Amino acid sequence: MRALSDGTRRQILSLVWEKERPAGEIAANFSLTRPAVSQHLTVLLETSLISVRRQGTRRLYHANRDVIEALRTELDAFWGGRIGELKTAAERAQKQKRKKL
Beta bridge partners of 60: 22, 53
What 8-state DSSP symbol labels residue 49?
Answer: S
Nearer to another protein, 6 or 94 (CB): 6
> What minimum distance in Å lies between the beta carbon of 7 and another protein?
20
- Mask for 60-99, x = binds another protein (CB under 8 A): ----------------------------------------
For residues 49 and 68, the answer to whether their CB atoms sit within 8 Å is yes
* Binds another protein (CB under 8 A): choice among 12, 13, 15, 41: 41
Counting Cα atoms < 13 Å in the Cβ hemisphere of 61 gives 27
> What minimum distance in Å lies between the beta carbon of 17 and another protein?
18
Nearer to another protein, 53 or 65 (CB): 53
Best CA proximity match to 39, nearest among 15, 1, 3: 3
Best CA proximity match to 67, nearest among 45, 42, 38, 82: 45
The reply to whether 52 sits near another protein by the rule CB under 8 A is yes
